[in-house]
Amino acid sequence: MNFQVPQFIEVEDKIFGPLTFKQFVYLAGGAGAVFMVYNFLPFFLSVWIIIPLAALTFALAFYKVNSRPFVNVLESAFHYVLTAKLYLWKRRPKTAVATEIKLGEQAAVPIPKLSGSKLRDLAWSLDIKENLR
């Protein structure tokens, strides 16, 4: 028995011309809100509300952040702002203790125990060996 496997399931169907249903709803709702603000407020005041409202409408309909819809970003932002946060701070003592190696009759050279970058450690050890000769 052969079964057909659905493909392109992440691509939404274009229902209203080049727009998906969600995009159409966002644009229709934004256009309705802009129309209401324009009719009920004076022009000089309505311009200051219409511009951000139109920008939000177009962002909801078309803008994607890291290939995710803008509505998900807004939802995450509201969730972050409205939920309680727990800030913890634990002071940790420094663990990188310098050890000393005696090299014959020469002065002791402090060697760090471990640093963040192995490349930096290698460059440091090459510089020390070069200076001792």
The secondary structure of 69-100 as a DSSP string is EHHHHHHHHHHHHHS---------------EE
Closest residue by Cα to residue 62 from 90, 36, 26, 87: 26
CB-based contact 11:20 (threshold 8 Å): no
CB-based contact 52:33 (threshold 8 Å): no
Tens-digit pLDDT profile for residues 7-23: 777 777 788 788 899 99
Average pLDDT for the chain: 81
Which residue's structure tokens are 């951000």? 52
Cα 14–chain centre separation: 29
Name the 3-class secondary structure at 109: strand
The residue extents of the domains of the chain are 14-82, 99-132
- Mean pLDDT for 86-109 is 63
* Rounded Cα–Cα distance for residues 34 and 32 (Å): 5
Tens-digit pLDDT profile for residues 27-71: 999 999 999 999 999 999 999 999 999 999 999 999 999 989 999
Closest residue by Cα to residue 22 from 76, 74, 56, 62: 62
pLDDT of residue 131: 56
Residue 130 has pLDDT above 70, yes or no: no
pLDDT of residue 108: 56
